[in-house]
Amino acid sequence: MRGPHNIWRLVRTAATMERTGAIGAVLEAMDAPANLRVVARVLGWPFKWLGLPGDPALPPATRALTALGPAYIKFGQILSTRPDVVGPEMALQLQYLQDKLPPFPTSVAKALIEEELHLPVDRVFSEFSEPVAAASIAQVHRARLADTGVEVAVKVLRPGIERAFRTDIDAFYLAAQIIELLSPSSRRLRPTEVIRHFEGVVNGELDLRLESASAGEFAVNTEADAGFQVPKPVWNLSARQVMTIGWAEGLSLADNPALDAAGHNRTELGTRVLSLFLSHALRDGFFHADMHQGNLKVAANGDIIAYDFGIMGRLDEYTRRVYAEIIFGFIQRDYRRVAEVHFEAGYVPADRDIDEFARALRAVGEPIFGMDASRISMARLLAYLFEVTERFGMETRTELILLQRTMVVVEGVARSLDPHINIWQVARPIVEDYIRDNVGPKAVARDLLRTARILGRFGPRLPRLVEARLIRQGHPEVDEPPQRETHSMVWMLAGAGLTAAGVWIGSLL
């Protein structure tokens, strides 16, 4: 329930960060300015006694985030993939949040499974292990199906997790409203819309039936992708709070020493992670939006195995084309074209100067090219990008939030495998292939074919739709029935002609 009472939650958040020492640790790791560090400590110190103590055995940031709850843990998971933003030491500490959180008892998990599936656990599974991984929302057990002997992973939601998330999200809404009230310039970032988007994502993640559906669709889309595996769900043993899916056997993508000992090429793995993500986003418009190391393994044959499909991203065809053209423009160092695409898509207000925007984009892109990736400070780059978006009045695009966030996470994963990886070199062939097939004469012909087919289907109905609209506007005399029939026949013939033309165009592609 939203309301002023959530102020307590926000105060306790700041107090917990101060009590655990997380504020100082985070600001130091991010190399924050000295004055910002002083202000943060002064504001947090009076409320320190109100903070949650957390687990003193954990490092400060990890201790604070685990104490504050699942939504904060999600944030920490993202930071764990960005050693270039928070530093390698803190990134390593935050990896604890990916799948090493304290589990809840196996007896509770079994009771929940029986309640959801209406079947005794011992009858369904011949083996059922203690938790093998525990994250912010659920934990996973390794099991074996009694009827087939196939090994599976059984994912079970944490008890009370929905209420815990609701508490955090309500406080986030209040924080967004306070930010918008105190800082009018922040409204272009649409913080409330961002929280609403996050809420929708979380609600989907809390229904494991939806995750099963995502796993199934993702498996179909990627079955032909070389070097990539997606476990398939067991539908009859999955429900709202329980999901059964094929077991993924492999090494964690976060364990570089183990990967090296097994003879895997980490440079090639880093390149493949980036390539797969771009292919899924551009080719399919459906991508894994939580691709941190905790959700990726490497099989014995070198295949990358993805799992945990609670957060998936989807892009419509137009957004994919815009995204591809922006990336391609950066790759080509054609900043004028990148600026034009932003204006054409409505990402930048039309009254702004396109040449000035192109110049600002050049200042973002040029330092990247020809430079070793390990020398690029992503923290400084993101800070400058924020300045550019503020200067040109760009609003936050909620449809791109998952894409942008996942791009940051995936780049962080790739860099953890190969610190010298260059994202532009990896992206180039994939984006060029997409541009060739989806932006240009071939794409125009395909769009015409689709338009002709739609008109062919709905042509006979158009006169009635127009007449109904005119009648609603106060023109009851629009047409007599004979004329209406004639018009319908004309539209039917026109639709048939357009369909035939579309088929002919299709035959030429």
Instruction: Provide the annotated active-site residues.
Output: 290
Alpha carbon distance 243, 144 (integer Å): 14
Q: Which three-class secondary structure state does DSSP give residue 197? A: helix
* CA 500 from centre of chain: 41
Alpha carbon distance 226, 223 (integer Å): 8
Stated as kind and residue range, the H or E segment containing 129 is strand 125-134
The two tokens of residue 208 are: 């494991």
Q: Which three-class secondary structure state does DSSP give residue 383? A: helix
Alpha carbon distance 252, 33 (integer Å): 36
Stated as kind and residue range, the H or E segment containing 258 is helix 256-261
* CA 366 from centre of chain: 27
* CA 33 from centre of chain: 30
Long-range contacts formed by 178-185: CB under 8 A, 24+ apart:
178/10, 185/390
Place of tokens 């090994």: 151
Indicate the DSSP class of residue 270.
H
Residue 171: other Cβ atoms inside 10 A: 24
Alpha carbon distance 270, 423 (integer Å): 10
Stated as kind and residue range, the H or E segment containing 462 is helix 462-472
Using an 8 Å Cβ cutoff, are 222 and 280 in contact? Answer: yes
Task: List, in sequence order, every residue forming a beta bridge with 242; answer none if it has no partner.
Answer: 156
Residue 43, phi then psi, degrees to nearest 5: -70, -35
Using an 8 Å Cβ cutoff, are 20 and 47 in contact? Answer: no
Alpha carbon distance 279, 222 (integer Å): 10
